[in-house]
Structure formats: C-alpha cells, structure tokens
Structure 1
Amino acid sequence: MVFDAWTIPDQMSQWRGSPGWHVDPATVTSELKPGGRHHHDKVRESDGQVVGTDAVFTEYFPPDVFVAKQRITGDDGINPDQPLELRVEFTKMGRHGTLVRIIQGPYDPSQSELHSEGWELELERLSQWLQANATPIEGAAR
C-alpha cells in the first residue's frame, strides 16, 4: 500500500506536497518501469507558484525501491540544470509497518536542511493519508 501511494498517480496526487502545497492531479503522469518518465507539478496555495518535477526511472523494483533522475523547475533553491537523484526504499517492519528511506541530492548545502524538513512534512501527510485510506486487516489489533 505504501509503495502504491508513492507510485500510482491518483494516489500520489492526494498526499504529496508539504502543508500549503498540493500536487495538481491533472499534471501527474508516470510510466512505472525502468526508463519510464514521470511528471508532476506542486502548486503553492498562497500564490500559485508551481514547482515542476520531470523524472526518468532508472530503477523500479516494486514493492521495494525506485530510483529516478529528476529535473526540478520553479524552486529557487534547486538549479534546474543540475539533475537530482531520488531513491526511495521501502522495508517491511513487523506485520503492518513500512520503513520509508528517502535519499535525494545533491543539494546546495545551504538548502539541504530545508528539503529534509519538507520531506518530513510530506511523510507526515503520507501517514495521515494511509491511515484514512487503509482497509482493515483481518485479525489486526485495533
């Protein structure tokens, strides 16, 4: 379920973005395979600023990991001419948990803390979205 939330466009567009931002669902495309392209636009609600992400999957191994080379535009802290790499790993933890490990960069050192905080906020939104959309697991404690 966690891997799907990251990779299926209809699901990803419902939770991605830090508070005050949202993903425009009409902009999300994803070819879920090595060499497949991905695109989404995040929109800041206060002023309509758009940050676009264009990516190509370099690795895609559901439900364990995906890696993408990214070009991000519209973010003053990221040079759109310097590609970033995003690696997201999913590790099953216990019966009902998943550890998500995000590695992205390189960032300018002055921007790395800001982006780390942004990922933490997005992961909180993911957790809330998963809780709201989870189907009960038979035999699971409530």
Structure 2
Amino acid sequence: MGELVINHEFAAPRAALWAAFTEPEILAEWFGPEGWGVHVDTVTIEPRIGGVQKFVMHLLEDPTQTSPVHAKFTEVREHELLVGEDGPHEMTLNLVITMRVEFADCPMGTALTITQGPLPGEVLAPARAGWESSFTKLEALFAAHL
C-alpha cells in the first residue's frame, strides 16, 4: 500500500481553484483524465463536514465504462482544505481511501497539494497520470475563462 502526493501550481486565484473542486458545473468540465468525462447531472457536492461528493466518470468512447466517486467530507476549511473519505471499493481491496486537497497561495497563483491513500502500489502511477491529465484540462479551462 502507498500514498499518492501530488503538488501542482495553477495560474489562478485560490477562489477559482476552490470553485473547480466544489461547484458541480465547473467540476464536470475538467474532472477525469483525457478520454473521460463527467455529466453534470451525476454531480452532487456539499462542501461541509458530513456533506457528500458524488459523481460518475465515464469513458467517452464507451459511456458504459464508468468510475463512480462517492465520498463524504470529514474536514472542510473554505479556500484552504477539503478532506474526504471514499469507499470501501472492491478495486482497492475494500479500502476506505482518504483524499486531502490543500489550497495555498503561491507566486504563480495557487498551489494545490493532493494526498490520496492508502492505494495499492499498482494504482499509484496510473492515479498520478490521471490527476496530471485532469490538471491539463483544468489549466485549459482557466486559460479560457480567467
């Protein structure tokens, strides 16, 4: 088992990055690696302790291939921190996965740190690639709207 830690800086204000993670219409525009999408009608986000984050990613070429997310927020500090637990899942050996998303100011705009785990070792590299691909989509979204 391992833990994935990803650091990424965005040329966007902290409020914009927070909105990308907490507003269904924005999340549906960028979340998921290239080749995957999220229909906004599957998204529910309640950014408060005990609130849920639910959505379904689908493969664009074959929408029957899906990857659902159903997490519960355990810690929320607006524009600073989102912590949620998702699971248990069969594909992750029935683990409950914790995801911590930290937002901080940096010279470029906003520094994002994502910590996710525990994850099986064989999932770490694909998960990192998925986040990095998603961030490319998010950067394009910010470039078009900021």
TM-score (norm 1): 0.86
**Matched residues in 2 for 1:71 and 1:124: separation?**
26
2:83 is equivalent to residue 83 of structure 1: no
Q: Which has the higher contact order (CA 8 A, sep 6+)?
A: 2
- Aligned mates of 1:81, 1:25 — CA distance in 2: 27
Q: CA RMSD in A?
A: 1.6
Q: Does structure 1 retain, via aligned residues, the 8 Å contact 2:72–2:86? A: yes
Letter in 1 for 2:23: I
Whether 1:53 aligns to 2:66 is no
Q: Please, which runs of 5 or more residues in structure 1 have no aligned partner?
A: 135-142
* SS state at 2:33 partner: coil
5 Å matches for 1:62-141? 62-71=78-87, 78-79=91-92, 81-94=94-107, 97-134=109-146
- Show CA shifts across 1:57-106 (max 9, x none): 00110101100001276xx8x32721111111111112x51111111111
| Partner Cα separation in structure 2 for residue 72 and residue 28 of structure 1 | 19
Change (3 A) 1:72 1:132: farther
Q: How many residues matched?
A: 130
Sequence identity (%):
28
1:40 corresponds to which of 55, 66, 72 = 55
Change over 3 Å in CA distance of 1:7–1:35 after alignment to 2? same
Structure 2: runs of 5 or more not aligned: 1-15
Task: Give the letter aligned to residue 14 of structure 1.
Answer: E
Larger Rg: 1
**Paired residues of 1:68 and 1:85 also in contact (CA < 8 A):** yes
1:16 aligned residue: 31
